[in-house]
Amino acid sequence: MDVLYFAWVRERIGLPKERIETRAATVAELVDELRAREERYAAAFADLSALRVAVDQELTDFDAPLAGAREVAFFPPMTGG
């Protein structure tokens, strides 16, 4: 699936988007996989309360299932308006 990062999450990880092969059943499991990869991921995902997640462009939470998901995005709380 495609994993997208925005704002300071993108800066901390160092890329806006990547393709990831995963068997993670939930967003939280995907986060655990990413954290285990490298320090920059561990730093980006250090505090999940500072992050939001969207699965297939719908806001959801970290225990959301990933079955059939094509795109997961991680970003900080939004600041529009």
Q: How far is CA 81 from CA 47, 76, 78, in A?
A: 25, 15, 10
Binding of other proteins at residue 54 (CB under 8 A)? yes
Sequence-ordered list of residues with C-beta below 8 angstroms from that of 29, at least 6 positions apart, any chain: 22, 66
- Binding residue count for other proteins, defined by CB under 8 A: 15
x/- letters, 10..49, toward other proteins (CB under 8 A): ----------------------------------------
| Cross-strand bridge partners of residue 60 | 53
CB of 73 to other proteins, least distance (A): 6
Query: Are the CB atoms for 5 and 46 separated by under 8 Å?
Result: no
The site for other proteins (CB under 8 A) is made up of: 4, 6-8, 54, 57, 59, 73, 75-81
